[in-house]
C-alpha cells in the first residue's frame, strides 16, 4: 500500500503548486482566459464543454473492444475523448512535459465526483495505477497514473495499491503499430504479493488509452498472478475506437 512518505510528498507538491499560483495568475489550460475564484485548471465554460465519453454508462464501451481478450473487464471509464492537437488533448501533454501533475489530480478529482452518482466505484476494493520504471519516474519526477489514483482515493476513500510494478522501461509506443506495441510491452510488468489481490475487485488506472497495449500487458500479469481478481479500468482520456 502507499507509504506515509509518499503521502507527505503529495502534500508538498500540492503546496508548491498553490504557492506558485499566488505569483502567476492562473489561466484556463484550454482557452487561456484568466480563471476566477473557485476555478482550477479549466474555466467553467471549458469544463462544461469537455468532450466527455460517458463510457461508464455503456455495457460495452470502446475501451472494452480495445482490451478484448479472454480476460473479462467488468467496467470501463474515460473522462474525455483524446483527439491529437486539440486543446483538451494538450492538457495531458502539458502535465507530462511541463511537470504539472496538479492537472492530472484535478481532472481525476472532478471525474471521480461525476462517476460517484452512477455507482461506478461500488464494490471496488483497490486502485492500481499503471506503474513506471524507477528511471523514468525519477527523470519525469512523477507518474501520472499514480497522481490520478491518489486523487481518486481522496475522493472515494478507496485505497491505492502498489502490487503492480514495472521491472524495466520500454521504448516509446508513439510510432509503433498494434502488434509492435504489444511486443514492446511483453514482460515489462510483474505482480508483487499477489495474495493481496485474491478475490478483490481492482480498478486499473492510467492517464490515456490509445491501442490498449499497455493496459492489456498489466491485465495479463494481474490475471496470471491472481485469476480470482476482478478488473475494471479507468483512464482520463481515450482515443476513438481503433
State pLDDT tens for residues 181-218: 555 576 789 999 999 999 999 999 999 999 999 999 99
- Distance CA(43)–CA(55), nearest Å, equals 24
Q: In sequence order, what are the residues at sequence separation of 6 or more whose Cβ sits closer than 8 angstroms to the Cβ of residue 212?
A: 63, 66, 67
**Confidence (pTM):** 0.84
Residue-wise pLDDT for 84-104, tens only, equals: 999 999 999 999 989 899 999
Could you give the C-alpha distances from 105 to 91, 95, 165, 179, in angstroms and in order?
12, 10, 21, 32
pLDDT at 136 over 90: no
- Using alpha carbons, select from 100, 143, 97 the residue that is nearest to residue 13: 100
pLDDT digits (tens, 9 = 90+) for 108-135: 999 999 999 999 999 999 999 999 988 8
pLDDT of residue 176: 55
Question: What is the average pLDDT score of the chain?
Answer: 88
Tell me the average pLDDT across 9-26.
62
Residue with the three cell numbers 485469476: 227
Amino acid at each position: 500500500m502507499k507509504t506515509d512518505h509518499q503521502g507527505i510528498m503529495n502534500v508538498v507538491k500540492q503546496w508548491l503548486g498553490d504557492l506558485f499560483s499566488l505569483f502567476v495568475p492562473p489561466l484556463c489550460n484550454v482557452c487561456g482566459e484568466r480563471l476566477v475564484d473557485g476555478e482550477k485548471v479549466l474555466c467553467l465554460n471549458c469544463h462544461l464543454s469537455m468532450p466527455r465519453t460517458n463510457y461508464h454508462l455503456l455495457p460495452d464501451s470502446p475501451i472494452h473492444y480495445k482490451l478484448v481478450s479472454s480476460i473479462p473487464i467488468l467496467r470501463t471509464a474515460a473522462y474525455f475523448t483524446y483527439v491529437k492537437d486539440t486543446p483538451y488533448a494538450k492538457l495531458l501533454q502539458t502535465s507530462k512535459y511541463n511537470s504539472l501533475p496538479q492537472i492530472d489530480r484535478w481532472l481525476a478529482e472532478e471525474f471521480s465526483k461525476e462517476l460517484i452518482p452512477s455507482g461506478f466505484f461500488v464494490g471496488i476494493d483497490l486502485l492500481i495505477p499503471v506503474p513506471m520504471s524507477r528511471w523514468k519516474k525519477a527523470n519525469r519526477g512523477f507518474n501520472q497514473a499514480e497522481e490520478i489514483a491518489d486523487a481518486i482515493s481522496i475522493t472515494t476513500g478507496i485505497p491505492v495499491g502498489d502490487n503492480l510494478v514495472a521491472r524495466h522501461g520500454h521504448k516509446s509506443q508513439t510510432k509503433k503499430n498494434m502488434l509492435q506495441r504489444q511486443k514492446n510491452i511483453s514482460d515489462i510488468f510483474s505482480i508483487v504479493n499477489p495474495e493481496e489481490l485474491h478475490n478483490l475487485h481492482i480498478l486499473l488506472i492510467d492517464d490515456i488509452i490509445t491501442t490498449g497495449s499497455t493496459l492489456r500487458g498489466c491485465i495479463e500479469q494481474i490475471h496470471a498472478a491472481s485469476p480470482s481478481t476482478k478488473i475494471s479500468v479507468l483512464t482520463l482520456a481515450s482515443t476513438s475506437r481503433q
